[in-house]
Amino acid sequence: MDEIREFLVIDEEEGDRLDIYLSSQLGDMSRSYIQKIIKEKKVKVNNKEQKGKYLVKEDDKVVIEIPAPKLLEVTPQDIPIDIVYEDSDLLIVNKQQDMVVHPAPGNYENTLVNAILYHCKDNLSSINGIIRPGIVHRIDKDTSGLLMIAKNNNAHNSLAEQLKDHSITREYEFICHGVVKEDKITVDRPIGRNPKDRLKMAIVKDGRNAVTHFEVVKRYENFTHMRARLETGRTHQIRVHALSINHPLLGDNVYGPKNNKFKTNGQTLHAKKLGFIHPSSKEYVEFDSQLPTYFQDIINKLK
């Protein structure tokens, strides 16, 4: 049976495109899938059909008819993945840039989950359900680097608890616009949904606590190679905090300049180091990864 959802537009959301507005309201549902529903005439604003480009107004009543989910099968696919470490409890994967972590409506293939289902067969935790088996945490499609995959529920619970306690070591490296003057900077500013653009995150007064420790790796002309250590793990945390100190990430088309001379496929951001207490041995383990080719190529050009 189809699901009917109703929303009332508030003043802060006025001026958003209808498809963007619904994307922000419906979480994991992709904008392209929402556009498909709109084209199928299953969205009405004040009882009238509207196109995706319609700009919502305060007090608009938006009603969407979400098609009943089909019996979902996420298909294992033989996709090459870079496995850094594996045992009976977990898998550490070095995700390539451009790879989506888990399926979402309208995109059920060629994700990391499809790949690990093929590699691990039935040996994955079930805590996050069919769509995200084994997925303890995620990184953006355009971010490369290390991810933990849980093979059983005990391992998943242990790793998730460490994430909640902020006890996992997570270090990233990135290239940002401008020359950062300070060698080290700590940004302690709350992050929440951007009230002017619901698809973005921003520094907001009533946002969730977020702390990032930045350190300069090397300065170049007009750019800086940086390291970031996360205390918290908010959505787009590094990207938003870097923007807050006026040094947006190179290639970040959401928070930084739209064009750059390096023609990158998204932000130059790599999850380089990951450390945690192993669920079974109870010993601290740490994994490191080399900077990917796309990242190293830019450094070579900057040199």
Query: Quick one: CA dihedral 51, 98, 139, 207, positive or negative?
Result: negative
Catalytic residue among 16, 140, 142, 252: 140
Other CB atoms within 10 Å distance of the CB of residue 21 = 25
140 assigned to active site: yes
The DSSP-derived string for the chain is -PEEEEEE--GGGTT-BHHHHHHHHSTTS-HHHHHHHHHTT-EEETTEE--TTPBP-TT-EEEEEEPPPP---PPP-----EEEEE-SSEEEEEEPTT--SS-BTTB-SSSHHHHHHHHHTT-S--TTTTTSTTBS----TT-EEEEEEESSHHHHHHHHHHHHTT-SEEEEEEEEES---SSEEEEE--EEE-TT-TTSEEE-TTSB--EEEEEEEEEETTEEEEEEEESS--TTHHHHHHHHTT-PBTT-TTTS-S--TT--SS--EEEEEEEEE-TTT--EEEEE-PPPHHHHHHHHHH-
Sequence-distant (6+) residues with CB within 8 A of 221 are: 179, 302
Which residues are catalytically annotated? 140
